[in-house]
Amino acid sequence: MSTLNDEFPQIEGLRYLNHAAVAPWPRRATEAVTAFAQQNMALGARDYPQWLAVESQLRDRLARMLNAPTSADIALVKNTSEALSFVAFGLDWGAGDQIVISDEEFPSNRVVWEALQPQGVEVIQVSLKGDDPEAALLAACGPKVRLMAISAVQYASGLRLDLPRLGEGCEQRGVLLCIDAIQQLGALAFDVQQYRCAFAMADGHKWLLGPEGLGVFYCRSDLRARLKLHEYGWHMLEHAGDYDRSDWQPARSARRFECGSPNMLGAMALDASLSLLEEIGMSEVSRALAERIDHLQHELAAMPGIELLSPTDPFRQAGIMTFRANGWENAALFQQLKAEQIVCALRGGGIRLSPHFYTRPDVIEQTLTVVRGLLAK
């Protein structure tokens, strides 16, 4: 196995702490895409069966990442928003039905549900600011609530929710649980069976270290046929590839949500990136990431004038540490950090730092030194 420095040969002086937005690719993903491009140039699609084997391997890897019962539960989608739309406009809603979300969701996990309002569906936003956000979410699940749509980790604050508790509570209430997993999958272990969720989805370009344009949609097997389809094509058919067949039906597997030609270029990259996470092991990935978040938390908290906006309880943390500095406008501080080659984000009323398991300790130390220097000005 190559070393992590070989996999992430970032330019000298770059401090990349923005994996909660878009992550750098590991070297192996770049090499996989380069080889694929060269093959296309020289051979075209002569070896298409080999491409399909990579796509199949990617489904298997994603099934393992989510602990799905089988790869048949996995659809390869364009992005998280597309998968959320499959759920929102696939379920059969009635006037008066309700959906519970939090008041901290990324727009993708809010707008799609609000778009159902013309059908008479009400969206209930629940505050996560209290001591027991899970209790607040479950308390909002009255008799008209049919679905809870929640991010595993909130994109701005980094708040991590107790998904097993939410899954159990939703099951007891007859509520479907839909998890936007984008800020957890690839950072921490994820388990659709333990969470008892109906649906889960994520993009590949954050903690999974893959490209934009390819994501994953998990749909529980007993619910696949309940989602009305709105996209049709050759690839989503049970007998895809039998072009002379006149009768047809949607695939029994989650491939029914993939209407047309697959994103083979993205599949080559994401499959390579996931191979790295599998080699490292998610237990080691989450341990190393927790170590880096803990260090950021304690060092930032010790600086006069710094207010942490992210949880400090390790159980509530994933890979995000957001802060603000007294006496600084967030936008001005962000620009100063950007000038120092610190790649981060403006989110949730502060500066969001998001390292990954491979982030070198000196990158974090240099970032902390820069912040201390700016505070001293």
- 225, pLDDT greater than 60: yes
Please state the three-class secondary structure of the chain as a single string: CCCHHHHCCCCCCCEECECCCCCCCCHHHHHHHHHHHHHHHHHCCCCHHHHHHHHHHHHHHHHHHHCCCCHHHEEEECCHHHHHHHHHCCCCCCCCCEEEEECCCCCHHHHHHHCCHHHCCEEEEECCCCCCHHHHHHHCCCCCEEEEEEECECCCCCCECCHHHHHHHHHHHCCEEEEECCCCECCECCCHHHHCCCEEEEECCCCCCCCCCCEEEEECHHHHHHCCCCCCCHHHECCCCCCCCCCCCECCCHHHHCCCCCCHHHHHHHHHHHHHHHHHCHHHHHHHHHHHHHHHHHHHHCCCCEEECCCCCHHHCCCCEEEEECCCCHHHHHHHHHHCCEECEEECCEEEEECCCCCCHHHHHHHHHHHHHHHCC
Question: What's the rounded mean pLDDT across residues 65-88?
Answer: 98
| Residue-wise pLDDT tens digits, 229-246 | 999 999 999 999 999 999
* Measured torsion, CA atoms of residues 124, 156, 7, 63, in degrees rounded to the nearest 10: -10
pLDDT of residue 377: 80
Give the pLDDT band (50/70/90) at residue 82. Answer: very high
pLDDT in tens, 250-306: 999 999 999 999 999 999 999 999 999 999 999 999 999 999 999 999 999 999 999
Residue 7 in this model has a pLDDT that exceeds 80: yes
Q: Is the pTM of this model over 0.75?
A: yes
pLDDT at 336 over 50: yes
pLDDT, the chain, mean: 97
- Domains and their CATH numbers in the chain: 4-17+281-376 (3.90.1150.10), 29-279 (3.40.640.10)
Which pLDDT score is estimated for 3? 86
